[in-house]
Amino acid sequence: MSDVIYTNRKSINKNDIETLDQFDRNDTRVEGSYKIEISQNKASIAGVGSSSIDSIVQYLDKKSFQGLVDTVSSIAKSGTVAESTLLKSYIYSLNFFLSIEKTSSITAEAISDFHELCRSRKKPAYYFTGVKQLLLKWHEYGYYGIDDEVADFLLEVNSPVNNRPSGSRIRSDNPEEGWYTDQEYDDLVEAIWNDYELDIVVLQKTLALLLGAQYGRRPIQIAHLKVGDIRESGEACGVSGKRIEFPSAKNRNTGGGFRSGKLEVHPLGDELWKLCQLQIKQSQSIWEEAFQSEITSKNVSKLPLFHMNTKHSSKKRVELAYKNSSQTDTIYASRYLHVSSHDICGVLTRGSRGRRFGTRIVSERTGKQLIENAYRFRFTRVRQLARLGVPRITLQYWMGHEDIKSLEAYYDDPAERARVLDETINPLLAPLAQAFQGTLINSEADAIRANDPSSRIRLDGKKALSVGSCGEHGFCSASVPIPCYRCSKFQPWVYGPHTEVLERLLERQRLENEAPLIGQGRRLLIPVQLKKEINAVRVVIESCEKRKIELEQING
């Protein structure tokens, strides 16, 4: 199967667009290098994060260490967010490698020994992959420290396979790493809102959490949002009016530069829109204090939507931006002003390693604290769309995927297949299950309590919408007529408006099954299941149709 490159929203089926709009409810691109600083036992990549290099400093000889510094500096100057983000993990992997091998120079023997540790799964396989990528780039740049023997060995040896194949977490039945159940998701979103309203969690963290919960975007996409990405008028990618335009994270053939990919545009609901406006005002105030000057509305749109946590950090970022921006008019759009994806991950993560504050959610499946992270939000929202029946090509657009093959894991859903199968065979089994247990009668005159007007069962309390009679003299507090169809005392009339009852039930079930949307109210209870009632009404309708044919034949 060939890759499908970015579906255009306008090419998607109109009904699917409406589904996405209901489900959802950056113009500035600055090129340049990522500055890297080596200080004592830490390597810091501006706008990305830092990594410990204590073992590198302790074991690597001075000449090789300088070769490493020159290499990572050259990689950082590539100007691509992908390279610079990976660089952090490369350095971390090399530091881990040296903590194990304790060698002053990089040799084929040391790498071979480390490869065996990873291959035998005594050490995580991704460490070797990181080391291999960094050392090959080191050799490619030609700096001292990696000779041809090491490079040849790395090119010949295959990286160990990770313990789990791609998509394992998506398919996983582990209640602590896969998608959230509807109940868990509802509880989580409700807690986020309540924590904000009770001033337990601040505005910025609340907005980041809600964006993650609603749109399932990657942390780096949230971190790279600018004020100008919150739009109220015009149109982009087929979405008009209030919308949010996420910068892409994994587009090919764009150089991987900061915000250089295609936009991922989604409608913005009223509640989130209001929060975004509050965040914009807050960010503008903080950045104006850090810049020590007022900022024009034109330049405000270039600023990051999310700001640093402290005034000191904001000022340091402004200094870094001035230091690395060549033109004054691009200073407000500088990538160095943005929070890192690591910061956003910290906000979205809570559980065994998370540090987010707020109301703790207990999982209905484990009885323990719910493990929260950005991956689970993404898995959950995509799975919800898949279960709504959204086609792959439409879901591909919503996720921002270029390769439709990446979606297979989300559609490999045994539970969903079982649900579809159940819906298919359920009408056939309904009569056997005796969903309807009452007695069909031709008219009210044939009812047990024919002379008692109070025995009439009506839809909406209207006489014209009477559906049958109740054969029980005692008082029933049930919400008629829905529960009546499964009651053994119910006597439905052949010519009653049962089809209208069915339509009401189906619409109610559709609303109950809808994925919870921010802006639609906050559902506290699990969706009501009306399958048995629906089946009972269908049995009555089918029995009535058969009886009508019999009556027509009798009456000639």
Task: For residue range 466-480, list pLDDT tens digits in order.
Answer: 888 887 755 454 556
Residue 334 pLDDT: 85
Residue 544 pLDDT: 92
Residue 124 pLDDT: 83
53 pLDDT more than 80: yes
For Cα atoms 306, 311, 314, give the angle at the middle one, nearest 5 degrees.
55
- For 60-81, how does the pLDDT look when each residue is reduced to its tens digit (9 = 90+)? 999 999 999 888 888 777 655 4
Query: Percent of the chain, pLDDT > 70?
Result: 74
Q: Output the 3-class SS for 191-249.
A: HHHHHHHCCCCCHHHHHHHHHHHHHCCCHHHHHCCEHHHEECCCEECCEECCEEEEECC
355 pLDDT more than 90: no
Question: Residue 97 corresponds to which tokens in the numbers above?
Answer: 């490698």
Strands 49-52 and 42-45, bridge-based pairing: antiparallel
Verdict on whether the full-model pTM lies above 0.85: no
Q: How far is CA 371 from CA 71, 166, 362, in A?
A: 38, 21, 9
140 pLDDT more than 50: yes
Strand partners, 45: 36, 49
Q: In angstroms, rounded to a whole number, what is the distance separating the alpha carbons of residues 500 and 496?
A: 9
340 pLDDT more than 80: yes
Cβ proximity of 305 and 225 under 8 Å:
yes
Q: Output the 3-class SS for 399-428.
A: HCCCCHHHHHHHHCCHHHHHHHHHHHHHHH
Question: Residue 205 corresponds to which tokens in the numbers above?
Answer: 């963290």
The pLDDT-based confidence of 418 (bands split at 50, 70, 90) is low
Dihedral (C-alpha) 479, 480, 486, 492: value to the nearest 10 degrees? 180
293 burial level (CB within 10 Å; 0-12, 13-18, 19+): exposed
Q: Side chain identity at 227, as an amino acid letter?
A: V
Which of the residue ranges 160-174, 348-362, 497-511 would you say has the lowest mean pLDDT? 160-174
Residue 172 pLDDT: 62
The pLDDT-based confidence of 444 (bands split at 50, 70, 90) is confident
Domain boundaries, the chain: 36-156, 444-554
Cβ proximity of 405 and 1 under 8 Å:
yes
